[in-house]
Structure 1
Amino acid sequence: MAGRASRLTRAEIQTVFERFRAANPEPKSDLEYGSPFQLLVAVVLSAQATDKGVNVATRKLFPAAPTPEAIVSLGVAGVEDYIKTIGLFRAKAKNVVALSHQLLEKHGGEVPNDRAALEALPGVGRKTANVVLNIVFGEPTMAVDTHIFRIANRIGLAPGKDVLAVEHALLKVVPKAFMLHAHHWLILHGRYVCTARKPLCERCSIVDICRYRDKTVAT
Structure 2
Amino acid sequence: MDAGAVAAALEDARFDARQNSRFEDLADDVRGRAELAEWERIEQLLAAAPAGTLYDPDTDPVVRTELEADAAAAAAREADLRDAARIAARADELQALRDLGTLDQAEPAEGDEAVRDELTRRAGGYVLADVDAWLAHALATHRGHYHAPAAREEAAGLLTPPILAHAALLTELARLVPGAHADELAFAARLATAEPEAAGALAAFLTRAHPDR
**TM-score, normalized by length of structure 1?**
0.26
Name the structure with the higher helix share: 2
Structure number with the bigger relative contact order (C-alpha 8 A, sep ≥ 6) is: 1
